[in-house]
Structure 1
């Protein structure tokens, strides 16, 4: 095997090669779902992605005999430095066709991070914890749902072979959503539905900016003590809301509100949310990553009334002031059951996925397991002293 050369991504043609490499890596993998190329280009474009307002990144390609055989990013995020510790740099967007290319790419990313003053490398994170964090280490035979990654089994050995150890595992849970809530879950939901101080409502797409801000602000509050947490900025909240709007269906996104007082006419304040989306990967798989010239029309048509077998809960949270209370669990289970009913009845879904959930987040794991969910994918974030 001849030597590998590493070069930075500079031109538009370089970016195209960076994005297109995934098609070479996974061409024979039946579980892989081609991402929409326009989405990947937007992720790495500083002119489009507001993440670059508080972070900087470098991208590289690995080549052998004129052929691209790997890619990687390295990034320094000011918010990561503030919330995950000074000196914490990250790398991601990692793909490689062989171990030699993987070693050279990781070494290049580490060298750049050292030059930026970083003392610890963490990855893969592409580009943010809110995008596609972690390396898939179990569940290779099942296609990922929307907003989750898929990787080659060989990557684990290549990464660990360069000295990386586990920082944290992230879990996704799958559950058959057709059965109605039973047992403790059913009783808690029924009690909550009789409580006039609790109100569960669907998002209002006519006031989508208001409701998306409510959800993402609740997210910032609910997740603020979690490992890996980095706050979403107002610009990122607006950007995320704009991207999510086409796949938001009011019955699948709910906000739980609590009365602000016991007297008649008391107002309500947001207390929890659950964002559920159809598995758009089922709708885009045959597009092969291309929206134009005809893929965009096909996707718009399919999104008018999606019928996907699977739905995913990428984001869920309860206001931090309620953490550790019985009410927090009750609100979460009410949100799950209200959305489950419509997902099955109106969208004909049969299975749902929760995640990702931190491996040591016992509260969320218990909530996921109560309706019978089991782990279907494990993603690992690695770290190494530089």
Structure 2
């Protein structure tokens, strides 16, 4: 009965702890589920996170007979809406049992909150924007999720569609296997000519210089994505905050850029070891007392990597420099004796140029995350 479902707002630290714990209650018995690191979730929903300077966020937990059975969050990002010229409310941190009544009530609450703040459209799932983890997995359930990507059970799609959500954009993940992703000599000669014509060379983003170079790196990243669907630039405080987290798993040889002869950075690429393969063993999501051990000892032998960020400055995109970046990162990953597979994710389904380049190099589309939209008020 509807009266048995109660949606409670989260306002304090204790409530946030319950909020973070909900997916462990729902998915903890699934051996294929990769637990998030609790401290990372607490960080993102904390009022002290730098993105909160331009975001208004609300969190809720659903209870049935006094027990948590679901959660959801909503976010109004003023900077994003101004940049894109829209009135969107983002909906994310969605978790529930296969319970349509609970799910519908959660959506009504989050979208109603967005409507009360003048939003006309809700978009999700996203935790909280395209600068964060986002998308409902609708294809690719056979492989465990890669680092910094969302995972969900198959039944979520039906719950979203039932509640009036419609597809807005697909995000693609590309799978590559060491040895299968290879360039012919003809392709390499073509890329060499592209590099010579563009007048660029590869530079290393050294780990000990990462803090000083990260602003330059993300300046190119922001420019490269500036014309893409759903994008808004990441301000420097958020860049610094994210960089501090990425540095914990960064391998210097997998972070590099393209620079012109006069010193202008025009392309960037960052691949990361897929520590999700280790998080699978940290079932509590806590580093203490022993959760830190597999993360500390297993990183250097990880067999999978994720190409997390790759972009070319808009002024240089017509020169096809993306192929140069992909050649370089595939060569670097291929030289690691432990790496056997990798994932390049995500790309927009509408980004024909990059998707064709990946396919030409031997990568196969293996995963699809879908973003949905619906009016903030139905009816």
Give the TM interval when normalised to the shorter protein: over 0.9
Q: What's 2:328 paired with?
A: 338
Moved more, 66-75 or 211-220: 211-220
Q: What's 2:298 paired with?
A: 302
Aligned-partner SS, 1:378:
strand
**1:281 and 2:262 are equivalent in the alignment:** no
Q: 1:85 to 1:75 in 2, by over 3 A?
A: same
Moved more, 174-183 or 127-136: 174-183
Q: Structure 1 length as normaliser, TM-score?
A: 0.92
Q: What's 2:35 paired with?
A: 34
8 A Cα contact 2:281 2:294, kept in partner: no
Q: What's 1:198 paired with?
A: 200
Q: What's 2:87 paired with?
A: 87
Moved more, 62-71 or 76-85: 76-85
Q: CA deviation at 1:171?
A: 0.8
Moved more, 140-149 or 294-303: 294-303
Q: Which runs of 5+ in 2 are unaligned?
A: none
Q: Distance in 2 between matches of 1:250 and 1:40?
A: 26
Of 240, 243, 247, which residue of structure 2 is paired with 1:241?
Answer: 243
Q: What's 1:313 paired with?
A: 307
**1:322 and 2:316 are equivalent in the alignment:** yes
Q: What's 1:225 paired with?
A: 227
Q: 1:196 to 1:113 in 2, by over 3 A?
A: closer
Q: Distance in 2 between matches of 1:357 and 1:381?
A: 13
Q: What's 2:96 paired with?
A: 96
Q: CA deviation at 1:297?
A: 4.5
Aligned CA RMSD, in angstroms, stands at 1.8
Q: 1:347 to 1:231 in 2, by over 3 A?
A: farther
Q: Which runs of 5+ in 1 are unaligned?
A: 260-266
Q: CA deviation at 1:184?
A: 4.6
> 1:307-345 CA distances to partner (integer Å, 9 max, x unpaired)?
22111111110011112x2x3x2x322222222233232
Q: 1:203 to 1:108 in 2, by over 3 A?
A: same
Q: CA deviation at 1:228?
A: 0.5
Report the number of matched residues.
372
Q: CA deviation at 1:137?
A: 1.0
Q: What's 1:359 paired with?
A: 349
Q: 1:44 to 1:243 in 2, by over 3 A?
A: same
Q: Distance in 2 between matches of 1:346 and 1:124?
A: 35
**1:124 and 2:125 are equivalent in the alignment:** yes
Q: 1:155 to 1:298 in 2, by over 3 A?
A: closer
Q: What's 2:264 paired with?
A: 269
Q: CA deviation at 1:223?
A: 0.3
Q: What's 1:264 paired with?
A: none
8 A Cα contact 1:258 1:271, kept in partner: yes
Q: 1:381 to 1:184 in 2, by over 3 A?
A: farther
> 1:270-293 CA distances to partner (integer Å, 9 max, x unpaired)?
110111001011122212211112
8 A Cα contact 1:75 1:127, kept in partner: yes
Moved more, 356-365 or 29-38: 29-38
Q: CA deviation at 1:250?
A: 1.4
Q: Distance in 2 between matches of 1:220 and 1:137?
A: 28
8 A Cα contact 2:72 2:110, kept in partner: yes
8 A Cα contact 1:8 1:59, kept in partner: yes
Q: Distance in 1 between matches of 2:31 and 2:292?
A: 23
Aligned-partner SS, 1:243:
helix
8 A Cα contact 2:322 2:354, kept in partner: no
Q: CA deviation at 1:193?
A: 6.5
Q: Distance in 2 between matches of 1:105 and 1:139?
A: 26
Q: CA deviation at 1:377?
A: 1.1
Q: Structure 2 length as normaliser, TM-score?
A: 0.93
Moved more, 107-116 or 7-16: 7-16
8 A Cα contact 1:31 1:141, kept in partner: no
Q: Distance in 2 between matches of 1:178 and 1:39?
A: 35
Q: CA deviation at 1:135?
A: 0.8
**Equivalent residues in 2 for 1:94-243, closer than 5 Å:** 94-97=94-97, 98-179=99-180, 180-182=182-184, 184-191=186-193, 197-243=199-245
8 A Cα contact 2:304 2:342, kept in partner: yes
